[in-house]
Amino acid sequence: MENTIKITHFENPHQFWFIRPQPRIIRRVMLHCQLAVHNYCTEQYEAEETGPDGYYAPTAGEIVAVYDPARARWTRNRVVDATIAEDDTYQVWSLDEGVPKEAAAKHVKPLPSKFKHTHNFSLRQGALRNICPTYHRYDPDEGRVCKTASCEWDSTINTELLVLIQNAEKTYFKSTSTHTIAGEEIEFGDLWFLTKHQELIGARDFILKVRAKIVDEEQFLEFMTLNRRLTQPVHIPEQAEEKDTIVTVEACLKENLE
């Protein structure tokens, strides 16, 4: 199967980043650009000794240079949040690696405009096409439980898909269309994973199956026995060990039925 990709970062089925295999000439151009940034910053900044009051203060969305001590490398990053955290770090997005990072304030430096282009020849943002998150609710007018569109993906789906991504032998993405949403160019399409057992799993089918399953009565009773909180009072008595914990019906159902 063609359309092989590598997912660099996954948030949910509508928000993941990936790279495709690129021709050698494209890889050489990318490496040349990255090396130019590294060499410039090495010459400009590595001899500096800046105190806490002299840290560079970036703005949200700004393209900056960030030094990675573990790799001894300068890279280009977009500032996600210009508010410096208590541990003197900024939230940034690596333009060349396609991953979120925390950058120490002392390692964040300005870049000249010639290095501030955001285009990456291989890194793309993707989303599954024609599928939306849902939740179930009872519709009194129709007299039945209906699926209703939700504004966010359930954390269980995100977690299980991430496990699938991390353990897949290969990942495939067939793009069917590209749209610009909120200033970001996103490819919509279909995602598949080839497991170590050589089984091809479609992300769409996986999402539809992962939420629940039907079991026989013996399995159900075993489940209910092991998950006694479903049959216990909603509020924990004051004499319980965890006095400050309040368990809501919603929390119980979410934790035990997902």
Tell which residue, 237, 222, 191, 202, has the closest CA to residue 14. Answer: 191
Lowest-pLDDT range, 92-96, 161-165, 209-213, 241-245?
241-245
Mean pLDDT, the chain, rounded, equals 82
CATH architecture of 33-46+56-117: Roll (2.30)
pLDDT of residue 183: 79
Q: List C-alpha distances in Å: 188 to 14, 21, 201, 214, 242.
A: 9, 18, 18, 32, 46
Map residue 242 onto helix, strand or coil.
coil
Token duo for residue 30: 């990318």
Contacts 24+ apart (CB under 8 A), 28-34: 29/121, 30/96, 30/120, 30/121, 30/122, 34/75, 34/76, 34/96
How many Cβ atoms sit within 10 Å of the Cβ of residue 200?
11
pLDDT, average across residues 212-240: 60
How far apart, in whole angstroms, are the C-alpha atoms of residue 60 and residue 40? 23
Token duo for residue 190: 């279909």
Element (H, E) at 145: strand 144-149
Query: What pTM was estimated for this model as a whole?
Result: 0.74
All structural domains of the chain with their residue ranges: 4-19+123-231, 33-46+56-117
Q: Which residues contact 73 (CB under 8 A, 6 or more apart)?
A: 38, 67
One-letter amino acid for residue 106 of the chain: K
How far apart, in whole angstroms, are the C-alpha atoms of residue 76 and residue 63? 7
Domain 4-19+123-231: top CATH class: mainly beta
Whether the CB-CB separation of 16 and 78 falls below 8 Å is answered with no
Q: What is the pLDDT of residues 104-155, one digit of tens each?
A: 999 999 999 988 876 666 789 999 998 888 888 888 988 998 878 787 898 9
Token duo for residue 162: 């991430």
DSSP for residue 106: G
pLDDT, average across residues 156-161: 93
